[in-house]
Structure 1
Amino acid sequence: MSLLTNVMDHSLDDGYAEAAARKKAAGEGGLPKTLRARLGLALGLVLAALVVTVGAAQARVAAPVVAKERQELIDRIDREGDTADTLEENVDKLRDDVSSRQREALKESGESGKADLVGILSGAAAVHGPGVKLVVNDAKEATTGGDGNPRETSGFSDTGRVRDRDMQRVVNGLWESGAEAISINGQRLTALSAIRAAGDAILVDNKPLVPPYTVLAVGDGQRLSTKFQNSADGLYLHALQGDYGIRTAISVEDDLRLPAAPSVIVRTAKPRTEKGTS
């Protein structure tokens, strides 16, 4: 009877009781692991849904503000564009008025023929006539040269790109070959024009150009083309094509149209007066 009484009083081993007490003291008792995992996952999903909901609500609140700012920016760009167009029209009208007054003044002095010539040579007047069209473009696959490459003297490593000094030589060669008027990508060149670089970009009178560079030169087309290609600058351009893959194409055109330069302002030079006159 004592054995039966002991089994009834101590149905579980003392080790099981001690393990259960330790789990309870550590806070691991109560809920099973599977249930705790499910509850944690559910809590994470609730938190994620809350974050998404709050983000969507904030986006809906901010959307009208962003749309309003965007529209205001578009309207401002349109207004500034209209203003620029109006100013450009005024410049064209003033240029025509100045040219008309110059012709009238020269007509009275018997030298009306010089006005048009001065306008053409200075770049102040739009011109058209026969000439050549020269297109200069970067290489299809620009390469990086090694140390000591002569085209890396200015810090450039891409030898397949057209440089400002390349375009300077092209333009100077065309002038020397007999060109009467030149433009690059629609930018008319004058005696005051400058071809410079800003990073990898080429600037003409501080306006950036993008390749391909289309050079229009008015003059005796066939003669101008032949003389330029046989000149030192034409051979230099041919060498760039052969050595670095820079693409070039020249053609003789029957009628080229070049715009007038935006502004031809001389700030330092003054016309010379005859001795004894004021």
Structure 2
Amino acid sequence: MCGMSQQHPGRSSATRPARPDASMSLLTNVMDHSLDAGYAEAAARREAAGQSGLPRTTQAKLWLAVGLVLAALVVTVAAVQARVDAPTVAKEREELIDRVEEGTREAEALEARIEELRSTVARKQNEALEKHGGDKGLLTALLSGATPTEGPGIKLVIDDAKDTRGSTGGGPRRSSGFSDTGRLRDRDMQRVINGLWVAGAEAVTINDQRLTALSAIRAAGDAILVDNKPLAPPYTVLAVGEGRDLRSGFQESADGRYLRVLRENYGVRYDISVQDKLRLPAASSLALRTAEPVKTGKGSTS
């Protein structure tokens, strides 16, 4: 027992105390040797051979200093130039904005002048029709679309099919050169409008655009043009006339049956209703044309 107790102090005095970071030997090694031995050896060889990255001679150091000065000078000049040009660019931008705003004001003034001239022309046209048309002056102005009109009539809203990529086939379009789709075509609209005229309509508009005897309904691609103005579906057709008689007359006509076939075979959608009061605008551009009878006499073939 005593012998064992005498050996214990000696062994404990010979044992070194453990390092606090003994459990982190890998991290300690990385921190103590951050540069790999191979890289350190290669750097030492380059330094011994005089190939280090930094210049060693006075001339090389001088050229390096000159290069740094030139680089700093270029950066400084660029910064100064950008600061000098900033007010000029801002001024040019303000001038461009002013020019755009001025052009917009001029365009708005011209549009107002055009509307004023259109109103003047329409008023003079109405005066001429009333003066030279006699008792039929108002009727002539109405039928020509020169004046706004209001009264009872019908409202017909026509729209393309929900799926315009195809149809069930068959129907009146097969021999007309149109592809069999549910998209409303210009010829379809022509037939609808002609059917309304035949049924007794006194005035007609499509999407608030007044139709006259000189109006043209054409197509540009898939778009329908009325007097060269494109229209977008749904197409709202207003027709002034005896409401119920006008509706029944149109539905029983060949053009009304044509519209029903378009719905049944192609999915074209439409809704027709009687209206107690409609107000239709005058035609936006109306060209008056006159005709005079040829005088009979010698040499005349009349």
Q: Which residue of 2 aligns with 1:153?
A: 177
Change (3 A) 1:180 1:62: same
- Higher gyration radius (CA): 2
Bigger shift: residues 176-185 or 233-242 = 233-242
**Secondary structure in 2 matching 1:144:** coil
User: How many aligned residue pairs are there?
Assistant: 229
Q: Does 1:215 align with 2:237?
A: yes
Q: In the TM superposition, what are the counterparts of 1:102-141 in structure 2 within 5 Å?
A: 102-106=129-133, 112-141=134-163
Choose from 141, 144, 164 the match for 1:142. Answer: 164
Corresponding residue of 2:210: 188
> Partners of 2:274 and 2:198 in 1: how far apart?
17
Q: Structure 1 residues 60 and 236, CA, compared in 2 at 3 Å: closer, same or farther?
A: farther
Assess if the C-alpha contact under 8 Å between 2:129 and 2:138 holds in 1: no
Q: Distance in 2 between matches of 1:125 and 1:97?
A: 11
Q: Which stretch of structure 1 is more off in the superposition, 141-150 or 84-93?
A: 141-150
Q: Aligned partners of 1:61 and 1:145: how far apart in 2?
A: 63
Residue 156 of structure 2 aligns to a residue in which SS? strand
Using the TM superposition, give the Cα deviation of residue 274 of structure 1 relative to its aligned residue in structure 2, in angstroms: 5.9
1:92 equivalenced with 2:119 (yes/no): yes
Unmatched runs of 5 consecutive residues or more in structure 2: 1-40, 46-50, 54-78, 298-302
Partner of 2:196: 174
| Amino acid in the other structure paired with 1:235 | R
The change in CA–CA distance for 1:221 and 1:67 in structure 2 (over 3 A counts) is farther
Deviation string for 1:215-235 (max 9, x for gaps)? 111111100101111111111
In structure 2, C-alpha distance between the alignment counterparts of 1:200 and 1:256, rounded to whole Å: 29
Alignment of 1:271 onto 2:289: no
Change in Cα spacing, 1:66 to 1:264, as seen in structure 2 (3 Å) is same
Mapped to 1, the partners of 2:256 and 2:93 lie a distance apart of 54
Contact 2:224-2:232 at 8 Å conserved across structures: yes
Contact 2:169 2:265 (8 Å CA) reproduced: no
Shift of 1:98: 3.2
Measured on the aligned residues, the alpha-carbon RMSD in Å equals: 3.8
2:19 maps to none
Equivalent residue runs for 1:13-92 within 5 Å = 69=96, 72-92=99-119
> Which residue does 1:205 correspond to in 2?
227
The share of aligned pairs that are identical, in percent, is 47
The one-letter code of the counterpart of 2:177 is T
Q: Give 3-state SS (helix, strand or coil) of 1:174's partner.
A: helix
**For residues 91 and 187 of structure 1, what CA distance do their matches in structure 2 show?**
15
Query: Judging changes above 3 Å, is the alpha-carbon distance between structure 1 residues 86 and 251 closer, same or farther for their aligned structure 2 residues?
Result: same
Structure 1 gaps of 5+ residues are 1-16, 22-26, 31-52, 107-111
How high is the TM-score relative to the length of structure 2?
0.62
Measured after TM superposition, the shift of residue 187 of structure 1 is 1.1
Give me the TM-score of the superposition, normalised by structure 1. 0.67
Structure 2 residue aligned with 1:164: 186
SS of the residue corresponding to residue 163 of structure 2 reads coil
CA–CA distance in structure 1, aligned partners of residues 208 and 122 of structure 2? 18
Residues 142 and 95 (structure 1), Cα distance of their counterparts in 2 relative to 1, 3 Å cut: same
SS of equivalent to 1:140: coil
Q: Structure 1 residues 113, 72: closer, same or farther in 2, change over 3 A?
A: same
Paired residue type of 1:153: G
What is the CA–CA distance in structure 2 between the aligned matches of 1:116 and 1:180, rounded to whole Å? 12
